[in-house]
């Protein structure tokens, strides 16, 4: 927790402006799309389980649904292949190749299909000798693999870090970044550099943000509330290090959205969506769009939450207070607004009331704020001096506040008033 949020934000802005970001014109806002790993993992049994195995038909089905059921209109762009798409060996020319039985038309044809739907295709590879599932890695083949992906018209590369000496991780990720840039094709670069570097030392986030468009910091997400909460706890514990690196062109990636699967209650799904929006995280769903329930679909397509995630100011939020088993997370937004997420960390009992005076950022409301409640249900509350909200166990209330001055006029812009220097 930061005892002086205003001072902290000055430090964040200063460090962020110094760090810069990968200059490939991509990821100006956090990436949105669908990724297969958490839900479908490395299921290669297309004979016994044809509907759920890693195959071209799975990604084509998801592309169809992304187009037909409002996902593309909500902002989700990418269909991302993960591990286990490859043949066990490279071809005679040393190039990666798709498994011929599960991807008979090849990746380039799959990219054409995805592009025909107005979407983009992501693919997976590894910086080391092998992928996490044991398929060929890119070590020693960075240039040829980058060129292969470019020739296949791939739009995103998720570059994992298994089977790689930790001392070589940094150079491996830098080498692939350079190789991708040399292809001349804009390919969004998703790294796991800091995840693997944390094993031995604090990663160099300035270098990471100048190399990658997004980067994983912590362990893989599982379909459980304990997993989601562990990611939030890690992020809060390290926010003084990771938050300054994020901004247009490069984002901290807390891993996939597991909303619509089996492990989270409705309130916990709302908590993940709200906190991922506050953290300016990539919104990469891993679920089955063929069978997702209506409540989960409505949450994932919630335009107000997505607008927070995609806010043009491009600043990552962070935890500002812990009080009475509540966590307060705040994110500065464009036009002098502030997004506030209040997480009830208790997993017992009934809903509990939370008062706005416990929110550090509420001091902006001098004397008033215009309040919009996004979760647990949408409500245009209006102009208030304070607010009380009811939050279910492991649920989250999500608000947007807009300061209003003593003459009843909204402030527009971050530095027009001393009241807004916190932003």
Q: Are residues 280 and 360 in the same domain?
A: no
What's the CATH number where 236 sits?
A: 3.20.20.70
Q: Are residues 141 and 289 in the same domain?
A: yes
Q: Which residue has the higher pLDDT, 5 or 141?
A: 141
pLDDT at 414 over 70: no
pLDDT score, position 22:
77
pLDDT score, position 106:
98
For residues 86 and 97, the answer to whether their CB atoms sit within 8 Å is yes
Q: Are residues 115 and 202 in the same domain?
A: yes
Closest CA to 107 of 49, 154, 160: 154
The pair of structure tokens assigned to 377 is 């249900």
| Cis? peptide before 240, omega within 30° of 0 | no
* 131 falls within a domain: yes
pLDDT score, position 199:
81
Q: Are residues 301 and 322 in the same domain?
A: no
What's the CATH number where 342 sits?
A: 2.60.40.1180
* 7 falls within a domain: no
CA 237 to chain centre: 18
* Structure confidence by residue, pLDDT tens digits, 302-323: 999 999 999 999 999 999 999 9
Q: Are residues 231 and 370 in the same domain?
A: no
The pair of structure tokens assigned to 119 is 């979407």
* 268 falls within a domain: yes
Q: Are residues 59 and 178 in the same domain?
A: yes
Beta bridge partners of 404: 368, 410
pLDDT score, position 413:
37
C-alpha span between 231 and 273 (Å, rounded): 13
* 353 falls within a domain: yes
* 5 falls within a domain: no
The pair of structure tokens assigned to 2 is 């930061």
In 94-164, beta strands by DSSP E:
120-126, 156-160
* 10 falls within a domain: no
pLDDT score, position 8:
38
* 188 falls within a domain: yes
Q: What are phi and psi of 60, to 5 degrees?
A: -70, -40
C-alpha span between 197 and 183 (Å, rounded): 27
The mean-pLDDT minimum among 300-304, 322-326, 333-337, 413-417 falls in 413-417
For residues 190 and 207, the answer to whether their CB atoms sit within 8 Å is no
| Mean pLDDT score across all residues of the chain | 91
Residue 328 belongs to domain spanning: 318-420
DSSP-derived 3-state class of residue 137: coil
Q: Are residues 292 and 329 in the same domain?
A: no
pLDDT score, position 14:
35
DSSP-derived 3-state class of residue 278: helix
The residue from 309, 332, 356 where one domain ends is 309
CB atoms within 10 A of CB 39: 20
pLDDT at 412 over 70: no
Q: Are residues 30 and 163 in the same domain?
A: yes
Instruction: Find the DSSP H helices in 69-141.
Output: 71-74, 107-116
Average pLDDT score over residue span 4-33? 60
Average pLDDT score over residue span 271-285? 99
Q: Are residues 160 and 291 in the same domain?
A: yes
pTM of the predicted protein model: 0.92
Burial class (CB in 10 A: 0-12, 13-18, 19+), 388: exposed
DSSP 160-205: E-TT--GGGHHHHHHHHHHHHHHH-S--EEEE-HHHHHTTTS---H
Q: Are residues 322 and 386 in the same domain?
A: yes
Confidence of residue 12 (pLDDT cuts 50, 70, 90): very low
Confidence of residue 21 (pLDDT cuts 50, 70, 90): low
Q: Are residues 184 and 331 in the same domain?
A: no
* Structure confidence by residue, pLDDT tens digits, 358-382: 999 999 888 899 999 999 999 999 9
The residue from 250, 278, 309 where one domain ends is 309
The pair of structure tokens assigned to 270 is 């709302």
The residue from 278, 309, 340 where one domain ends is 309
* 231 falls within a domain: yes
The mean-pLDDT minimum among 6-10, 97-101, 207-211, 325-329 falls in 6-10
Query: Which residues are the active-site residues?
Result: 160, 220
pLDDT at 416 over 90: no
Sign of CA dihedral 103, 107, 108, 109: positive
DSSP-derived 3-state class of residue 354: strand
Confidence of residue 422 (pLDDT cuts 50, 70, 90): very low
Contacts of 178 (CB under 8 A, 6+ apart): none
Q: Are residues 148 and 238 in the same domain?
A: yes
Closest CA to 387 of 356, 360, 364: 356
Domain count of the fold of the chain: 2
% the chain with pLDDT above 90:
87
CB atoms within 10 A of CB 165: 11
Q: What are phi and psi of 297, to 5 degrees?
A: -65, -45
* Structure confidence by residue, pLDDT tens digits, 153-176: 999 999 999 999 989 999 999 999
């Amino acid at each position: 927790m930061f005892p002086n949020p205003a001072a902290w934000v000055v430090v964040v802005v200063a460090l962020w402006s110094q760090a810069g970001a990968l200059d490939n014109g991509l990821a100006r806002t956090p990436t949105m799309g669908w990724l297969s790993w958490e839900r479908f993992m490395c299921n290669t049994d297309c004979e016994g389980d044809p509907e759920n195995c890693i195959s071209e038909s799975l990604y084509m089905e998801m592309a169809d649904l992304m187009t037909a059921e409002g996902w593309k209109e909500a902002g989700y762009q990418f269909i991302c292949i993960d591990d286990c798409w490859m043949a066990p060996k490279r071809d005679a020319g040393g190039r990666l190749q798709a498994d011929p039985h599960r991807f008979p038309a090849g990746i380039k044809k799959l990219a054409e299909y995805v592009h025909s739907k107005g979407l983009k295709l992501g693919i997976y590879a590894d910086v080391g000798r092998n992928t996490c599932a044991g398929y060929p890695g890119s070590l020693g083949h960075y240039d040829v693999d980058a060129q292969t992906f470019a020739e296949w018209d791939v739009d995103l590369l998720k570059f994992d870090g298994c089977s790689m000496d930790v001392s070589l991780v940094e150079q491996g990720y830098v080498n692939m970044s350079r190789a991708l840039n040399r292809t001349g094709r804009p390919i969004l670069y998703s790294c796991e550099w800091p995840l693997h570097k944390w094993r031995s030392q604090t990663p160099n986030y300035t270098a990471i943000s100048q190399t990658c468009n997004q980067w994983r910091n912590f362990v893989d997400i599982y379909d459980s509330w304990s997993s989601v909460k562990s990611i939030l706890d890690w992020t809060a514990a390290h926010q003084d290090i990771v938050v300054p690196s994020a901004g247009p062109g490069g984002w901290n990636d807390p891993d996939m959205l597991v909303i619509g699967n089996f492990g989270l209650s409705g309130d916990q799904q709302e908590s993940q969506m709200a906190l991922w929006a506050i953290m300016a995280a990539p919104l990469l769903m891993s679920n089955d769009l063929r069978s997702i329930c209506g409540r989960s679909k409505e949450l994932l397509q919630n335009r107000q939450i997505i607008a927070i995630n995609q806010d043009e100011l491009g600043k990552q939020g962070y935890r500002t207070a812990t009080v009475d088993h509540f966590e307060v997370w705040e994110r500065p937004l464009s036009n002098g607004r502030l997004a506030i997420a209040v997480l009830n960390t208790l997993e017992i009992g009934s809903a509990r009331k939370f008062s706005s005076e416990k929110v550090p950022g509420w001091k902006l409301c001098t004397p008033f704020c215009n309040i919009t409640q996004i979760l647990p249900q949408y409500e245009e509350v209006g102009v208030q001096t304070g607010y009380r909200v009811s939050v279910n166990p492991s649920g989250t209330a999500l608000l947007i506040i807009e300061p209003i001055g003593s003459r009843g006029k909204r402030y527009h812009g971050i530095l027009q008033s001393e009241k807004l220097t916190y932003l």
